[in-house]
Chains A and B, each alone.
Chain A
Amino acid sequence: MEPTFNLEIITPYRVFVGTASEMIIVNTIDGELGILPDHEPVAAPIVIGPIKVKIGGKWKNAAVSDGILEVVHERVTMLVGAAEWPEEIDVARAERSRARALERLKDTTVVWEAHRAKAALLRAETRLKIAKGSTP
């Protein structure tokens, strides 16, 4: 039995994960961060992208939107706007929002609109990547 920590991934709509986990790899704004048991206490912002979690000896991929990660006392808490397993992703919807974001990126001249479109594009591409099963 590998050592584990308590992992909680919480979105506004549900508790996405609430179980023991052996390892998690996330994307922070400074790059990838892997967390093993006995990690030092840390808090870091998370960017939109894929994550990898090892639960019960098996690696699982998931798509998350931006949020925050906190590690305190063998408890890892992730607060994100949205999180999905590969099988939950609506591929058609992701394709549509990808096309929409690209369209908007091309047209817009307003800075904040471009920001939003970029974020939407990133979310859609992450979802598609995860849904198609490629590893992060």
Chain B
Amino acid sequence: MANMRDIRLRMKSIRQTLQITNAMKLISTSKLRRAKMQLEQTEPYFNKIRETMGDIVRRSQDLQYRYFDKRLAKPERHKAYLVITGDKGLAGGYNHNIIKLTEESCPSDGTGFLLLIGNIGKRYFLRRSYPILESFHFSTSVPTVYEAKEISDYVLEQFDSGAIDEFHIVFTRMYSSVKLVPEVLKVLPLELGDFAPPTGKLAETTIAYIPSPEAVLDSLVPKYLSGVVYGAMVESFASEQSARMTAMDSASKNAQEMLEVLQLTYNRARQTAITQEVTEIVAGAMALNE
């Protein structure tokens, strides 16, 4: 009867895995909901900052502002990439897609630098040839504005000192729960085209900037940048949860299918065993009767 026992053991282990995948799916679902809620809360703030910045930039076309400087004169332009991966695997192609995109877009001739968020990316790139500028470690819960500010302050410092000339973010954009697309977003230097021109009544008003447009921009840029970083972090986080949800959902489905098949095989094996036993008893009884 070894066959029956084997099947039973196998079913038991599948059932345990199923419990784990099911739990992970539920956790991801609730984390995803929280991330979405938090993103919605912060949206008005960062949208408004973006608007105000666009306003200033559009009004003062001849503004020579340092974050618009493309530094074309420099012979070697250093590009920094903020790579956002998860801390854990088991999320389908989520982490892999980001790593692949990073390798495609980041120049490997020594002018590309990496800033890493997330354990998976860190472990992967530590063994590769890219210079790593910094890796940030945060808890696995929903990213906070504070964490984003820490990163953006660091990036601004590096940009100001001339250590980096460009700043990109590699993250996963979530178009819908099934359409997760890894993207590279160029953040610094700022471009006029990033900002929509003022519309309607706003376009006709002249605004006084106290003490100067530059000073207002000085206080806006760090907030704008932290907003962009934060948005990317939360969207990546939501994407990760969504990817994990989908992966765990199909894992649970597969486990259930396997259980069904195994149950059938088990029943058949049991039936065979019973038939055999009955045959043996009958045969034995008949032998006695003779």
Instruction: Give A residues with C-beta under 8 Å from B.
Output: 10-15, 28-30, 33, 40-46, 66-68, 70, 72-73, 77, 79, 81, 112
Please determine whether A30 and B48 come into contact, CB atoms closer than 8 angstroms: no
26 cross-chain CB contacts under 8 A? A10-B45, A12-B41, A12-B45, A12-B46, A12-B145, A12-B230, A14-B41, A29-B219, A30-B210, A30-B211, A41-B207, A41-B208, A42-B209, A43-B52, A43-B210, A44-B209, A45-B220, A66-B219, A68-B49, A68-B219, A68-B220, A70-B52, A72-B207, A73-B202, A79-B48, A79-B49
CB neighbours of A11 from chain B (8 A):
45
Cα distance A46–B218 in the bound complex, in angstroms: 12
Please determine whether B216 and A68 come into contact, CB atoms closer than 8 angstroms: yes
Please determine whether A79 and B205 come into contact, CB atoms closer than 8 angstroms: no
Distance in Å: Cβ of B24 to nearest Cβ of chain A? 29
Please determine whether A73 and B201 come into contact, CB atoms closer than 8 angstroms: yes
Please determine whether A29 and B44 come into contact, CB atoms closer than 8 angstroms: no
Distance in Å: Cβ of A117 to nearest Cβ of chain B? 14
Closest to B216 in A: A43
B173 within 8 A of A: no
Cα distance A7–B156 in the bound complex, in angstroms: 31
B13 within 8 A of A: no
Distance in Å: Cβ of B211 to nearest Cβ of chain A? 5
B275 within 8 A of A: no
Closest to A44 in B: B210
Please determine whether A10 and B48 come into contact, CB atoms closer than 8 angstroms: yes
Closest to B207 in A: A41
Q: How large is the interface on B (under 10, 10 to 19, 20 to 34, 35 or more residues)?
A: 20 to 34
Given contacts A12-B145, A72-B207, A81-B223, 18 further A-B contacts (CB under 8 A): A11-B45, A14-B41, A15-B44, A28-B210, A29-B211, A29-B215, A41-B205, A41-B207, A42-B210, A43-B208, A43-B209, A44-B210, A44-B211, A67-B219, A68-B219, A73-B201, A73-B205, A79-B52
CB neighbours of A73 from chain B (8 A):
201-202, 205
Please determine whether B52 and A44 come into contact, CB atoms closer than 8 angstroms: no
Contact with A along B145-166 (1 / 0, CB 8 A): 1000000000001000000000
Cα distance A33–B45 in the bound complex, in angstroms: 22
CB neighbours of B210 from chain A (8 A):
28, 30, 33, 42-44
CB neighbours of B209 from chain A (8 A):
42-44
B56 within 8 A of A: yes
Distance in Å: Cβ of A125 to nearest Cβ of chain B? 20
Please determine whether A12 and B42 come into contact, CB atoms closer than 8 angstroms: yes
B64 within 8 A of A: no
CB neighbours of B45 from chain A (8 A):
10-12, 79
Distance in Å: Cβ of B219 to nearest Cβ of chain A? 4
CB neighbours of B202 from chain A (8 A):
72-73
Which of B202, B206, B215 has the most chain A CB atoms closer than 10 A to its own CB? B215
CB neighbours of A81 from chain B (8 A):
223
Which of A15, A33, A41, A45 has the most chain B CB atoms closer than 10 A to its own CB? A45
Please determine whether B56 and A43 come into contact, CB atoms closer than 8 angstroms: yes
Cα distance A112–B222 in the bound complex, in angstroms: 15
Given known A-B contacts A13-B145, A68-B52, A40 and B208 have beta carbons under 8 A apart: yes
Distance in Å: Cβ of A12 to nearest Cβ of chain B? 4
Please determine whether A45 and B215 come into contact, CB atoms closer than 8 angstroms: yes
Cα distance A42–B206 in the bound complex, in angstroms: 8
Which of A29, A41, A72, A79 has the most chain B CB atoms closer than 10 A to its own CB? A79
Please determine whether A13 and B48 come into contact, CB atoms closer than 8 angstroms: no
CB neighbours of B208 from chain A (8 A):
40-43
Please determine whether B49 and A13 come into contact, CB atoms closer than 8 angstroms: no
Cα distance A30–B215 in the bound complex, in angstroms: 11
Please determine whether A44 and B216 come into contact, CB atoms closer than 8 angstroms: yes
Please determine whether A42 and B207 come into contact, CB atoms closer than 8 angstroms: yes
